Chain A
Amino acid sequence: METTVPAIELRGICKYFGKIVANKNVNLIVEKGEILSILGENGSGKTTLMNMIAGIYQPDDGMIYINGQEASIHSPKDAFSYKIGMIHQHFKLIDVFSAAENIVLGIKEKGKYDLKKEKESIRTICDKYGFIIDLDKKIYSMSVSEKQTVEIVKVLYRGADILILDEPTAVLTPQETVKLFDVMRAMKKDGKSIVIITHKLNEVMEISDRVAVLRKGESVGSVLTKDTNPEELTALMVGKKVELNIDRSEPKNCEDRLIIRDLNCRNREGAKIISNVTFTAKSGEIFGIAGIAGSGQRELLESIAGLQKLESGEILYNDPESGKQENLRNKTPMQIRHLGVRLSFVPEDRLGMGLVGNMDIIDNVMLRSYRKGHSAFLRRKEPKTLAEKIIRDLEVVTPDAKTPVRRLSGGNVQKVLVGREIASAPKVLMVAYPVRGLDINSSYTIYNLLNEQKNGGASIIFVGEDLDVLIALCDRIMVICGGQVTGIVDARTTTKEEIGLLMTKTGGEEQ
């Protein structure tokens, strides 16, 4: 575009959450009438950055210029006054209201509330860009794609000229994505600027005019889509290989411990979340799982742990002690335990699933073992010893064992959780994002613990997001994308680029 002044210009934006750097010195330009893709790995700060433009957060440092004017955006309302609207990943709609009611909600206009008149102006917008929407339909009876349409219309109705879409295609079927892209092109034709956050390289190539890449909170540059290719973008996204000094021993005594065959499952909305996943986790190795967040990692682990209903498939566990094979499919966590399966699970949501925030360390350590014995009463003696042992061995920083875990820092919370899970000498240990939010030292403590378990013959399934860590720690890495396995690679020989490409490969493509 020939326009001189960019729609949005960010200069030196920084945002910190406590010690964690979300964005550092980010410079970004959004031209008028272009579609800009923001690309980056999980946790590279894309959403945080966009939230600052949309008024959800305020930058700690740096400047935002809208149409060349310095702007201070303190709330979504401020953002609207600059004609900026954001469509969030999690929709912010009121279920019991109709589409039209949601769209006009919160707009202060003089005169009487006249839904009929408003509906007409909404319809004009819809016709202009080709949205198909039933304005009287209640949100709760809508599909995800319909809800998304409502969100977009809502933003347009407020007169937005700059639209930010946070992973809009993550929840859509391919056909719905095509429709969305048509609408986006129509909006662009009308002179609107659109920013789209996405992980999917093929979509980036298809829809955007320009791509800006973020890595670890910093902008690493932007390229015109027509001048680039997926390989180059992947390289920009993942960056150079970082050498980590994580000890990795050769796997010993590998036996097939956990065999997953043709696993399929759907989420509550009925969308397919895991399709035909097949793999075998062996004893004495760390089996990594890489993928964009929300590609089915959580559901996969929860299926194995007995927390997720399956459509089809088998989960077979080879008991090393009895030599028997058990099928864990659709069993409750209790039934799995009664089969004598020694399965431990460190879930992603530490305080929401793995631990109880308001309980102290002893009571949290007791979660796995409190049922022991026939007495109706609890025995806190062994859990207390174990809690003290975990505090000592893993160097948990806490006043005492009677401190509620929610008062501990993230790393210490994780140490308590991992400590408890490995205390039962598991044969299979599943960990999801075990070092997320942890500092370097705590991270290495966790890596060492995992390696100890590996050398002790446990089969470890490690879901991670940092590719450097996955490559340095794991023995094999399975990559999933959109609930499908796109490849299983040898961690010793693979490259970040290879994994990055597999991560963004949407289903149906040839390997």
Chain B
Amino acid sequence: MSHVAPHAEPLIRLSKRDAMPSWKGMLVRILGILLGVALSSLFIVLVTDLNPIEVFTSLFDGCFGTPRRIWNLFQNTAILLCISLAVTPAYKMKFWNIGAEGQVLMGAAATAACMIYFGNTINQWLLIPIMIVASLFAGMVWGMIPAFFKAYFNTNETLFTLMMNYVATQIVAFLITYWENPKGSNSVGVINAATKAGWFPYLFGKQYLVNIIVVVVLTAIMYIYLKYSKHGYEISVVGESENTARYIGINVKKVILRTMALSGALCGLAGLLLVAGSGHTVSTSTAGGRGFTAILVSWLAKFNPAVMTLTSFLIVFFERGAAQIATAFRMNESLADIITGIILFFIIGSEFFLNYKVNFRHKHKEVA
């Protein structure tokens, strides 16, 4: 055995960093995004011969080019934000709810069911409250099932919520064939296209304004709930240390159930907004992967609802912009995905440098 001199250090060593001042943190993040943009430009030039400046102009164009696009941008941000707000209490409790997708779908299905079955019989002003209750309830049930098993049998919530997604997708797939309209289309089509029963009203003639307002209000409520309510406090304690929670007399089972009920119900609300407030139809792709993106939004914002407005906007901005690039330059859809991917990689990567210091070997100083 050859033993080199003592204290032979590896070339690169990572160590945890103390919190850095917030301005410095912001700078690192902005730098990360810029680097991401630069790398994707390089990628565009190398692969497509296009002028990256033109490409990025069309990115902005895709988001802000027309009033319609702006509304779309905000609508999509609102929906993503809504789901992010929904998963936040669960994550703050360290309950790995990756079942938002299914919870949203169940809320959407419940909304569609109300619109289809009661659309022609019940007055609009009664129908909408019924839809609200139904969608919240459906999402809540879908969230509470894994919570129940977690609380009483300590099952793994990650697997459980993931599998609940597939069940939800199958239920919706079944409902679509059941509700099929017109026959043979294998889709539900626009529900109540003629009567607009159960559709959210167009405020000031704007289709998505209701959704946006609902989510803005929800953001404020969630911020207050997490920071100033006793429930929010209990969620934090359970999430940080279940032992402390028990020591202090918090009923951990109850908190898990209650929080997942809330989380699921708010996912159900997102389903409602998706069906009654924008799409007016339901399909297996109604949630469209937002249930997963929302997790990213929530973690990037460190569970702060106010910051989530920014992170959700940023992600939707790049997604929609990249999609526009793909159409404008008649590129494959995948180009958009690659660009979004590169930029997301850098956004998340900068979080790593916020938390860790990279030490190289030559700085040879032992710190006790």
A→B interface (CB under 8 Å): 16, 18, 58, 71-72, 74, 78, 81-82, 305-307, 332-334, 336-337, 345, 347, 349, 351-359, 363, 366-368, 370-371, 375-378
The smallest beta-carbon distance between B151 and chain A, in angstroms, is 15
The smallest beta-carbon distance between B2 and chain A, in angstroms, is 10
Instruction: Tell me whether chain B's interface is mostly helix, strand or loop, or mixed.
Output: helix
Given known A-B contacts A16-B368, A72-B3, A333 and B233 have beta carbons under 8 A apart: no
Could you show 17 A-B contacts with beta carbons less than 8 Å apart?
A71-B3, A72-B3, A78-B1, A305-B247, A307-B247, A332-B251, A333-B247, A353-B243, A353-B244, A355-B244, A356-B240, A357-B241, A363-B236, A367-B244, A367-B248, A375-B230, A377-B230
Chain B residue contacts of A377, Cβ below 8 A: 228-230
Distance of A91 Cα from B251 Cα, bound (Å): 32
Given known A-B contacts A352-B241, A356-B240, A376 and B247 have beta carbons under 8 A apart: no
Say whether A337 contacts B6, CB under 8 Å. no
Say whether B368 contacts A18, CB under 8 Å. yes
The smallest beta-carbon distance between B250 and chain A, in angstroms, is 8
Say whether A368 contacts B248, CB under 8 Å. yes
Distance of A376 Cα from B230 Cα, bound (Å): 6
Distance of A263 Cα from B249 Cα, bound (Å): 22
The smallest beta-carbon distance between A380 and chain B, in angstroms, is 8
B→A interface (CB under 8 Å): 1, 3, 6-8, 228-231, 233, 236-237, 240-241, 243-244, 246-249, 251, 368
Say whether B241 contacts A353, CB under 8 Å. yes
Given known A-B contacts A78-B1, A332-B249, A367-B244, A356 and B228 have beta carbons under 8 A apart: no
Say whether B249 contacts A334, CB under 8 Å. yes
Chain A residue contacts of B246, Cβ below 8 A: 307, 333
Distance of A358 Cα from B241 Cα, bound (Å): 10
Given known A-B contacts A58-B6, A352-B243, A352-B244, A363 and B249 have beta carbons under 8 A apart: no
Among candidates A81, A352, A370, residue contacting B233 with C-beta atoms closer than 8 Å: A370
Among candidates B236, B247, B368, residue contacting A345 with C-beta atoms closer than 8 Å: B247
Chain A residue contacts of B244, Cβ below 8 A: 352-356, 367
Given known A-B contacts A16-B368, A367-B237, A333 and B230 have beta carbons under 8 A apart: no
Among candidates B6, B241, B368, residue contacting A72 with C-beta atoms closer than 8 Å: B6
Say whether B237 contacts A356, CB under 8 Å. yes
The smallest beta-carbon distance between A303 and chain B, in angstroms, is 13
Distance of A247 Cα from B136 Cα, bound (Å): 63
Distance of A355 Cα from B3 Cα, bound (Å): 44
The smallest beta-carbon distance between B245 and chain A, in angstroms, is 9
Chain A residue contacts of B1, Cβ below 8 A: 78, 81-82
Given known A-B contacts A356-B244, A359-B240, A367-B248, A378 and B3 have beta carbons under 8 A apart: no
Distance of A355 Cα from B247 Cα, bound (Å): 10
Residue among B6, B240, B248 with max Cβ neighbours from chain A (10 Å): B248
Among candidates B229, B237, B248, residue contacting A333 with C-beta atoms closer than 8 Å: B248
Chain B residue contacts of A376, Cβ below 8 A: 229-231
Residue among B229, B243, B244 with max Cβ neighbours from chain A (10 Å): B244
Distance of A332 Cα from B1 Cα, bound (Å): 58
Chain A residue contacts of B243, Cβ below 8 A: 349, 352-353
Chain B residue contacts of A351, Cβ below 8 A: 241
Chain B residue contacts of A352, Cβ below 8 A: 241, 243-244
Q: Which residue of B lies closest to A345 (CB)?
A: B247
Known: A71-B3, A349-B243. 16 other contacts (CB 8 A): A18-B368, A72-B3, A72-B6, A78-B1, A337-B249, A351-B241, A352-B244, A353-B241, A353-B243, A355-B244, A356-B237, A356-B244, A359-B240, A376-B230, A376-B231, A377-B228
Q: Which residue of B lies closest to A332 (CB)?
A: B249
Chain B residue contacts of A72, Cβ below 8 A: 3, 6
Chain A residue contacts of B251, Cβ below 8 A: 332, 334
Q: Which residue of B lies closest to A333 (CB)?
A: B249
Say whether A356 contacts B247, CB under 8 Å. no
Say whether B240 contacts A357, CB under 8 Å. yes
Among candidates B6, B229, B236, B247, residue contacting A354 with C-beta atoms closer than 8 Å: B247
Among candidates A71, A306, A356, residue contacting B236 with C-beta atoms closer than 8 Å: A356
Q: Which residue of B lies closest to A305 (CB)?
A: B247
The smallest beta-carbon distance between B241 and chain A, in angstroms, is 6
The smallest beta-carbon distance between B259 and chain A, in angstroms, is 15
The smallest beta-carbon distance between A85 and chain B, in angstroms, is 16
Chain A residue contacts of B229, Cβ below 8 A: 376-378
The smallest beta-carbon distance between B226 and chain A, in angstroms, is 11
The smallest beta-carbon distance between B246 and chain A, in angstroms, is 6
Distance of A16 Cα from B248 Cα, bound (Å): 35
Sorted nearest first, the 4 A-B pairs with minimum C-beta distance are A333-B249, A334-B249, A356-B240, A353-B243
Q: Which residue of A lies closest to B4 (CB)?
A: A72
Chain B residue contacts of A378, Cβ below 8 A: 228-230, 233
